[in-house]
Structure 1
Amino acid sequence: MSSNPLDAAGLRSALVGSLVLPGEPGWDEARQAFQLAVDQRPDAVVLAASPSDVVATVNAARAAGLRVAAQSTGHNAGPLGALDGTVLLRTSGLTGITENPGAGTVRVEAGVIWGDLTAAVARHGLVGLAGTSPTVGVVGYTLGGGLSWLGRRYGLAANHVVSADVVTADGVARHIDAKSDPELFWAIRGGGGSFAVVTALEIALVRTPDLHGGVLFFPLERASEVLHAWRDWTATVPDAVTSIGRILRFPPVPDIPEEVRGQSFVVVELVSLLGQQESDELLAPLRALGPVMDSVRPSSPVELAAIHMDPLVPVRAAGDGFLLTDLPSDALDAFLSVAGPGEDFPLLGTEIRHLGGAFAPDPAKGGAVTGFDAGYFVFSAALTTDELSVKAAHLALDRLCEALRPWGAATSYLNLAERPGGAPFADEATLDRLRRVKALYDPADLVRGNHPVEPARTAG
């Protein structure tokens, strides 16, 4: 895209929110992502305060030959890459939540985070398909698929989108659903943020089931015994149970709770939608292993957000993830040979998430990505202090990925792919259709997503 000077004065006069340019007061705060290791340097930042600000930003960027990257929290900011020639459109100021308990739905604006949504709808006996962190933005998470604690029963969060409010690259605000704009509506459900700037989503909720959740902690030296037992256990559990086998190496820093600070564990995290008796019976084989701590108990939807112990404030970190078709014993041994006890593996948390159940793809659900052709998902992350520690983390991640390559899936999970250049997030036929949608609604490639989809090019 050719670039003309951004009409800063004209854009400022059109905004309810604010425009921040390099060198102006508040610049560093405005451009900061939750992922502090990512140094975002766009041409300008717009702090949107209304949907009309999104329209004004898109129009001003198009007139200047710039691109627009929408961002609420910036948890998955790394894959955006350099932001030269781009206006960073921060949507965190759009925080409206409109509950419709009778219909079992909620409308959330683009800046709403999962912790706020969960608390708002829980009072109606409803719950959304939140991930492990309460600080992640609902809209960005959902556009990328949405891997929830309740997902083996209810599937991806993207499958529960009813309608969306978007601003397309031509500066037009549209309310879209499966009837009004079927191709665009299909693309945003799992295809990411490359097709339009989403200002709000209407989401179908589920009635709050009988929730049990928590963590079983074991000493790290028992990792092989515990994770092999957990792997065998996952083959027996119903879709009402979602779990993670995880290795944790806590650094000796004040931000870590005292009871685990400086210690290392192998843990099983889980959420069960079954009643007390069934949950206890199901957990009996794992509890028989003798955990040193056991926090599994009846839980509210809000309490589920604490299970994974994700950071609640912005951090410097490096991580990445990939899908596995299956987890046979040999694959788990390969995992432990890199990340297990006694290995020089400088990452805080390394996990294997059990998929299956309603996480399986189902084209009838209608979105671009409706599930995964994979049985498990691996993700690992480290707290970092400088470029050397980021490089060390990436080298360790590469070793882990290489060790598990024989069981690697052909596609990745968009939301937890933290580095560009990995496996595509969809099969080639789906990607071709996404490129055609991009060419139809954004042929000049004005809207940037974290994991970009470029418009299909015509011959000649």
Structure 2
Amino acid sequence: MTVQDLPVDTRAAQLREALGDRIVLAGDADYDTARLAWNRAFDQRPFAVARPESAEDVVAVVRAATAVGLRLAPQSTGHAAGALAGSDLSDAVIVHLARLRGVSVDPVARTARVLGGSQWNDVLAAAAPHGLTALHGSAGDVSVVGYTLSGGVSFYGRAHGLAVGSVREVQLVTADGALVRVSADEHSELFWAVRGGGGAFGVVVSVEIDLLPYADVVAGMLLWDVSRAGEVARAWAQWTASAPESATTSLRILHLPPLPELPPFLSGRSLVVIDGAILETDAAASEMLEPLRALAPEMDTFARIPAAGVVEIHMDPPEPSPAVSMHAVVSALPVEAVDAFVAASATPGLFVAELRHIGGAFARPAEGGGAVSAIAGEYVAQGISIVPAAELMPVMDAAVRAVVAALTPWHADAVALTFIDVADVDPAAAYGAGLERLRRLKTEHDPRGVFVAARPV
């Protein structure tokens, strides 16, 4: 009998014996809580959930699971749970890293060592006292590891590139249960692979990243009623066509429900919002924003703020939410594309239609970069819908796909890995010519397919 043929009860008993209270099995009282992802629209039902608190715990989990023929799905927060929806997790252990959190900052080297379950808020809190920040995303509760090793599209990215370019070192537990440190000088091929391949190669227990020397930045949002959407979107598209790389912004059309927890200027309204960050002096940023301010927004919050506050301006949901999204990388935004986007933003069921300006350093492959180091395109288009009940998923899924389909003539042959949150998007385009190398390394380092990644290679 092979380990894959072991009865379920035998596997469960051996996991319990090896891991004790670090493992939650189906049937345990807290199983239904432990298996929850941040994105509540997707019902994860793994064989078990492991909750390690140290690198040594992760080693024990990998060894115990593989010893009984189970696979492993690394997960820190579950923001990308939708990308795992097509994977059968009945023979997999979700390795939930929420208890493996911590950040140490070296202010002289301008680096941070970040444990595998840490979120961006943890990094910002540790970096801010030293006048530093990072290439974080638009929400503070997103996993540093999952976001960064999948590329990472930051509001500083047109000047500094994808967040994955900031990675100096990764520690991970490989399929054979070994704790390995990889860097440009140590296991350099695996270091190349995890910078883009992430959870397909192991359970990452820490990363070391470069920080940015910004204590404060000019950031904020401009807001109009949705009746101005066409005018504002065309102006923003024209503005971004010549904006310097110091400016990274997005344009969103929001349809907000009438919720009491929302402030009156948001509750029950449909709005068009431009937000982002500008790495310039106050005077230069003000001059740059003038064409957009000339459109007389009803709210204008652009100002110099502490860098840690940038994660607040995008107004991402602060609590776990059920949602579905779809994206495409877009090569250009002529007027026809803008008008198609605005029209699609009125699709019933849509929560957010977004265009994020990339290009600049986002599009330039980093010297010494990994499997992913750039995105070949000028914008990311995304649709997001809240899914309040499972039976509404088909309607909401159709709404987000409509936004992306509207821009089909302008799609680039690229994807942004951190925007993939459905199972039927092929991540291969993110790797370009490096795909075969990445797949060869996957076979070399995980020949039995132990790791189930949200974005498989």
The two structures share one fold, judged by TM-score above 0.5: yes
Match of 1:178 in 2: 184
Structure 1 position 412 matched with structure 2 position 418: no
In structure 1, what residue type is equivalent to 2:408?
A: R
Q: By how many angstroms is 1:159 displaced?
A: 0.5
Q: Deviation per CA, 1:161-198, whole angstroms, max 9, x where unpaired?
A: 00011100000001111121111101111223101111
More helix by share: 2
Against the structure 1 CA distance between its residues 89 and 83, is the aligned structure 2 distance closer, same or farther, given a 3 Å change threshold? same
Does the Cα contact within 8 Å between 2:383 and 2:403 map onto a contact in 1?
no
Structure 1 position 397 matched with structure 2 position 384: no
Q: By how many angstroms is 1:426 displaced?
A: 2.1
Aligned-partner SS, 2:415: coil
Does the Cα contact within 8 Å between 1:248 and 1:348 map onto a contact in 2?
yes
Match of 1:58 in 2: 62
Q: 2:136 aligns with which of 126, 130, 145?
A: 130
In structure 2, what residue type is equivalent to 1:2?
A: Q
Q: By how many angstroms is 1:409 displaced?
A: 1.5
Match of 2:202 in 1: 196
Match of 2:50 in 1: 46
Q: By how many angstroms is 1:319 displaced?
A: 1.2
Q: 2:317 aligns with which of 311, 317, 323?
A: 311
Match of 2:244 in 1: 238
Q: By how many angstroms is 1:366 displaced?
A: 1.5
Structure 1 unaligned regions, length at least 5: 454-460
Deviates more, 1:9-18 or 1:322-331: 9-18
Q: 1:354 aligns with which of 343, 357, 376?
A: 357
In the alignment of these two chains, the number of paired residues is 450
Does the Cα contact within 8 Å between 2:104 and 2:114 map onto a contact in 1?
yes
In structure 2, what residue type is equivalent to 1:254?
A: P
**Which residues in structure 2 correspond to 1:104-119 (within 5 Å)?**
104-119=110-125
User: For the residues of structure 1 that align with 2:342 and 2:383, how far apart are their CA atoms?
Assistant: 13
Aligned-partner SS, 1:377: strand
Structure 2 unaligned regions, length at least 5: none
Q: Deviation per CA, 1:327-349, whole angstroms, max 9, x where unpaired?
A: 1111111112211xxx3332111
Aligned-partner SS, 1:431: helix
Does the Cα contact within 8 Å between 1:247 and 1:266 map onto a contact in 2?
yes
Match of 2:386 in 1: 383
User: For the residues of structure 2 that align with 1:384 and 1:113, how far apart are their CA atoms?
Assistant: 24
User: For the residues of structure 1 that align with 2:108 and 2:266, how far apart are their CA atoms?
Assistant: 43
In structure 2, what residue type is equivalent to 1:46?
A: A
Structure 1 position 24 matched with structure 2 position 28: yes
Does the Cα contact within 8 Å between 2:371 and 2:431 map onto a contact in 1?
no
Does the Cα contact within 8 Å between 1:129 and 1:148 map onto a contact in 2?
yes
- Normalization by structure 1: what TM-score? 0.94
Q: 1:2 aligns with which of 1, 4, 9?
A: 4
Against the structure 1 CA distance between its residues 434 and 28, is the aligned structure 2 distance closer, same or farther, given a 3 Å change threshold? same
Q: 1:435 aligns with which of 428, 436, 439?
A: 439
Aligned-partner SS, 2:393: helix
Match of 1:169 in 2: 175
In structure 2, what residue type is equivalent to 1:416?
A: F
Match of 1:457 in 2: none
Against the structure 1 CA distance between its residues 17 and 32, is the aligned structure 2 distance closer, same or farther, given a 3 Å change threshold? same
User: For the residues of structure 1 that align with 2:349 and 2:454, how far apart are their CA atoms?
Assistant: 26
Structure 1 position 325 matched with structure 2 position 331: yes
User: For the residues of structure 1 that align with 2:92 and 2:432, how far apart are their CA atoms?
Assistant: 28
Aligned-partner SS, 1:53: helix
Deviates more, 1:53-62 or 1:3-12: 3-12
Q: 2:263 aligns with which of 257, 264, 279?
A: 257
Q: 1:79 aligns with which of 83, 87, 102?
A: 83
**Which residues in structure 2 correspond to 1:266-345 (within 5 Å)?**
266-339=272-345, 343-345=346-348
Does the Cα contact within 8 Å between 1:210 and 1:274 map onto a contact in 2?
no
Match of 1:458 in 2: none
Match of 2:454 in 1: 450
User: For the residues of structure 2 that align with 1:441 and 1:3, how far apart are their CA atoms?
Assistant: 24
Match of 1:456 in 2: none
User: For the residues of structure 1 that align with 2:357 and 2:193, how far apart are their CA atoms?
Assistant: 26
Q: Which runs of 4+ in 1 moved over 3 A?
A: 5-17
Does the Cα contact within 8 Å between 2:133 and 2:308 map onto a contact in 1?
no
Does the Cα contact within 8 Å between 1:217 and 1:268 map onto a contact in 2?
yes
Q: By how many angstroms is 1:363 displaced?
A: 4.8
Match of 1:371 in 2: 374
User: For the residues of structure 2 that align with 1:99 and 1:3, how far apart are their CA atoms?
Assistant: 47
Match of 1:156 in 2: 162
Against the structure 1 CA distance between its residues 240 and 3, is the aligned structure 2 distance closer, same or farther, given a 3 Å change threshold? farther
Q: By how many angstroms is 1:318 displaced?
A: 1.4
Does the Cα contact within 8 Å between 1:41 and 1:84 map onto a contact in 2?
yes
User: For the residues of structure 2 that align with 1:378 and 1:187, how far apart are their CA atoms?
Assistant: 27
Q: By how many angstroms is 1:255 displaced?
A: 3.2
> What is the root-mean-square deviation of aligned Cα atoms in Å?
1.6
Does the Cα contact within 8 Å between 1:12 and 1:19 map onto a contact in 2?
yes
User: For the residues of structure 2 that align with 1:14 and 1:361, how far apart are their CA atoms?
Assistant: 47
User: For the residues of structure 2 that align with 1:151 and 1:287, how far apart are their CA atoms?
Assistant: 23
Does the Cα contact within 8 Å between 1:355 and 1:377 map onto a contact in 2?
yes
Deviates more, 1:256-265 or 1:126-135: 256-265
User: For the residues of structure 2 that align with 1:17 and 1:125, how far apart are their CA atoms?
Assistant: 40
User: For the residues of structure 2 that align with 1:39 and 1:15, how far apart are their CA atoms?
Assistant: 25
User: For the residues of structure 1 that align with 2:298 and 2:46, how far apart are their CA atoms?
Assistant: 48
Q: By how many angstroms is 1:253 displaced?
A: 1.6
Q: Deviation per CA, 1:59-80, whole angstroms, max 9, x where unpaired?
A: 1121111100010100001111
Q: Deviation per CA, 1:282-315, whole angstroms, max 9, x where unpaired?
A: 1111111100111111111221111110111111
Q: By how many angstroms is 1:7 displaced?
A: 4.5
Structure 1 position 94 matched with structure 2 position 100: yes
In structure 2, what residue type is equivalent to 1:117?
A: V
